[in-house]
Chains A and B, each alone.
Chain A
Amino acid sequence: MERNTDAAQTKAKGRKRHLPLRRGLFATSAMLTPAVALAEREYNLQTPVTPIATQIFDLHLLITGICAIIFVAVFSVMFYSIFAHRKSKGHPAAQFHENTTVEVIWTVIPFLILLLMAFPATRTILAMKDASVPDMTVKVTGFQWKWQYDYLDHGFSYVSNLKTPSAQIHNLDTKDEHYLLDVDQPMVVPTGKKVRVLITAGDVIHSWWVPAFGVKQDAIPGFVRDSWFKAETPGIYRGQCAELCGKEHGFMPIVVEVKTPEAYAQWVDEQKKKSAASAEDTAKEWDLKDLVAQGEKVYLANCAACHQPTGKGVPPAFPALDGSKVALGPVASHLDTVLNGVVRNGQPTAMVPWKNTLSTTDIAAVVTYERNAWGNHTGDAVQPSVVAAAKK
């Protein structure tokens, strides 16, 4: 079985702490499904690394444990009855059919058990909802099908894409350890800090979920929701989009790297420098060749999921670009489509606006690429300055 090596030491720690409760649950589940082998598999929630996730972990064990006990008790009675009160054993049928006292008893006792469950649950809910006084804030935006992280305190942002190559998904290559759970640029946070995440979406509803943090919050287009976590242990934690968001829903993982505060500070510095270095010179004139080369990268990262690497698309939902009227028509309308997206009947479509997601140079590059790739040979080199002008 493959597992997250980065978090292995925390797992071991979690194991020890939860052992007694776990053992009880194992005994029960093993009884219910003797078929399940004893090989090392995950039978429970992922090992928590935040105080909230720990509370949820314990709460789940508590509730499941209580349910398992009631289940065993109730069905012992039923199976005893099935065993003993059968006609083949000559058991005569009693004719009682009413007893108000027992009805009251089996209404009141479950109610009391529920009260017992409600107390710890309420405490956890109130703790989860308290996103006040964060140490830092990161805005997370879901797009079809990637996540964007804006570090509001530091003024830089980047997009996080699935890193698993398409060859592995199509079984042409061996799947690596973090198949489908790896991204090009993870979100990075420091240990021991209360991180508030502001979560929204640019197109449809997504859901930002990191199991080890106990955070799952839907990302709703047009609204900002928040959640928070305080990760205690450095490591790499992986999750996935948890709300069906279209074709590539299964292919937009979330990866969060938790670093020590020192390593985090260093990372922030690097990001700031990178961000300053790439501050764009939109006046620069590019060669056609360089634009196409850059454009191909941008295309494969952002456009190929729908329009396909071959440019053939998946009509009619995702039209072909190879030989399309847009890609062979006037530059201005091609740019408009990419910058502002396609709106039909007043509703946004799967072709979302890219002007805020991609840089001016990247848009110039990808438009140039689309006009000069596959069977398209317009020879147009769309310069960043043209894009900058069109943006205004």
Chain B
Amino acid sequence: MSTIAHHPAGHGDAHEHAHHPSGIMRWITTTNHKDIGTLYLWFSFIMFLAGGTLALTIRTELFHPGLQIVEPEFFNSLTTLHGLIMIFGAIMPAAVGFANWQVPLMIGAPDMAFARMNNWSFWLLPFAASLLIGSFFVPGGAAAGGWTLYAPLSVQAGMGMDLTIFAVHIMGASSIMGSINIITTILNLRAPGMTLMKMPLFVWTWLITAYLLIAVMPVLAGAVTMLLTDRHFGTSFFNAAGGGDPVMFQHIFWFFGHPEVYIMILPSFGIVSTIIPAFARKPLFGYASMVYATSSIAILSFIVWAHHMFTVGMPAAGQLFFMYATMLIAVPTGVKVFNWLATMWRGSMTFETPMLFAIGFIFLFTMGGFTGLVLAITPVDIQLQDTYYVVAHFHYVLVAGSLFAFFGGIYYWLPKWCGRMYNETLGKWHFWLSMIFFNVTFFPMHFLGLAGMPRRVPDYATQFTDFNEIATIGAFGFGLSQILFLYIVLTAIRGGAPAPARPWEGADTLEWTLPSPVPYHTFETPPQIA
């Protein structure tokens, strides 16, 4: 982990201030945004491997019909924890890791606004992760009611559910602190001359994401607290016999859950909007409309939550409202895709690994967007709700969406962060393997869902066998490809070719004005933005 250490070469005075403890204490006590960004990214990668292991166990069980390697109750724990670990352990912390590294560098700030709180935001996460993973070993096993924790099933569950609730509380606290820090940094620490409408789009998307987080994480905390009191203190929020309503849990949960979807994708939009212009050697097309589109997506995300609940039985007016509102989201999302295309149009493109991942992102994310539009149509959703079609849909937007953008971002900024280049050939292999195996895994799931295979089942009727076999083979290919990614990053950090200050010809944001590797302290004197 200490590989992205301070290198004495480089930036005049800056490194003389880099006094910090060495060894493990450096990482425990650090208040440096670069160190903390590194911690977030490694943490999220470890969680990504943990969640991936669960996913591969799921896919192994589903290779053939019948029960082979796990019992149904444990299978439900696997799907539940796979979701929780990937969302709260892998995707969200990775996005915060990017923010920590890049927001100060891109706005010319010396560090994050609240450096000590930044340390605490990160160090809460390993505790939450231990609770989650540790819950596999308590009596009754880990939570098994799905990552959505629907009552009353989650009220019935064993103490693994309590550990999950505490873990969600802790991760929520971490996210809220992280968001406050990011908002304060962006609003107060921009270099002179950097007006809001001059900020790189990545900073914009994170500013909006951070507001979304502050708005909805407390809602999730409320929902799981009500669950906790229903479980142990005799309340009946979600129990009809006591005057409560199980569906209320879903309303509260998805009021958090839908903005959460955009929390996971907006930073990726930002990364892609940074990479595409750099490799097209052409400014981002429609910067202002990108900002407005991102904001509209964020605002609309608050009024579409019940499209996750079309089958609970709401009045026709409710179904119509949530269908129309959901369909509207396609408009700003389309604007973003068109702007990316217009950025590429008549550029002078090269296709290094970050660009490949960014193009892969646009291609597959758009497919996920289209299946999202299909699912927005209430009558169709009623057929497809809780089937593998939905599983395919959200993996297209979360894996090929968020994750691919993060891969692109890592390849893009790694030379700046550690001062060394990754192996371009291997990077391209990583992209093509991920791209192919991702589709082998998830594309057949559309057909499974259409034909009627429900999600979250450990066993299935025999007519679903062949597509499940294909999906399992793809999943192992995809999983193993990520070991290649680890190898590429480690070899780059340890012995990659030295990176120039600006390895990408078209990159023009502030961080590329700094030497590579970037000094431990940067922008102690704010740069002047023209």
A residues neighboring B (CB under 8 Å):
1-3, 32-33, 35-36, 39, 41-46, 52-53, 55-56, 59-60, 63-64, 67-68, 70-71, 74-75, 77-78, 81-82, 85-88, 91-99, 102-103, 106-107, 110-111, 114, 117-118, 121-122, 124-126, 128-129, 168-171, 175, 178-181, 199, 203-205, 207, 209, 211, 214-218, 220-223, 225-227, 239-251, 314-317, 345-350
Contacts and interface: CB of A to CB of B under 8 A. Distances in A.
B316 A126 contact: yes
Contact of B282 (A70, A94, A203): A94
A183 to B, nearest CB: 13
Interface stretch (B38-46, B120-128, B145-153, B393-401): B145-153
A71 B156 contact: no
Given A74-B341, A205-B246, A242-B387, A46 B451 contact: yes
Contacts of A91: 346-349
Interface in B27-84: 65-68, 71-73, 76
The 3 lowest CB-CB distance pairs between A and B, nearest first, are: A222-B240, A250-B457, A225-B313
Nearest to A98: B286
Given A78-B344, A97-B282, A242-B454, A114 B331 contact: yes
Interface-central residue, A71, A87, A92, A175, by most chain B CB under 10 Å: A87
B344 to A, nearest CB: 5
A242 to B, nearest CB: 4
A244 B316 contact: no
B66 A41 contact: no
Contacts of A36: 443-444
Nearest to B464: A42
B377 A220 contact: no
Interface string B324-340: 10011011001101100
Contact of B285 (A45, A98, A211, A221): A98
Given A85-B348, A244-B153, A317-B73, A43 B447 contact: yes
Contact of B439 (A33, A128, A241): A33
Given A41-B447, A45-B450, A345-B233, A179 B65 contact: yes
Interface string B354-389: 000001001100110010011001111011011100
B510 to A, nearest CB: 19
Contacts of A125: 316, 319-320, 323, 378-379
B374 A64 contact: yes
A12 B284 CA distance: 52
Nearest to B243: A222
B311 A316 contact: no
B24 interface: no
B23 interface: no
A86 B374 contact: no
B346 A93 contact: yes
Contacts of B345: 77, 81, 85, 94
Interface of B: 65-68, 71-73, 76, 139-140, 144-146, 150, 152-153, 155-158, 230-234, 236, 239-242, 245-247, 280-289, 311-313, 315-316, 319-320, 323-324, 327-328, 330-331, 334-335, 337-338, 341-351, 359, 362-363, 366-367, 370, 373-374, 377-380, 382-383, 385-387, 439-440, 443-444, 447, 450-452, 454, 456-463, 466-467, 470, 506
B146 to A, nearest CB: 5
B247 A223 contact: yes
Contacts of B458: 250
Given A78-B362, A121-B379, A350 B156 contact: yes
A63 B387 contact: no
Given A175-B462, A240-B454, 19 more contacts: A36-B444, A41-B451, A42-B451, A45-B383, A55-B379, A60-B380, A63-B373, A93-B280, A94-B347, A103-B286, A121-B323, A125-B319, A170-B66, A180-B65, A221-B240, A241-B454, A245-B153, A347-B231, A348-B152
Contacts of B65: 175, 179-180
B460 A250 contact: yes
B311 A217 contact: yes
B66 A169 contact: yes
A102 B331 contact: no
A128 B232 CA distance: 40
Contacts of A316: 139-140, 158
Nearest to A219: B313
B311 A242 contact: yes
B311 A207 contact: yes
Contacts of A2: 461-463
B142 to A, nearest CB: 12
13 contacts: A42-B447, A45-B383, A74-B366, A81-B347, A97-B284, A102-B342, A122-B323, A124-B379, A211-B452, A223-B246, A242-B311, A250-B456, A250-B457
Nearest to B66: A171
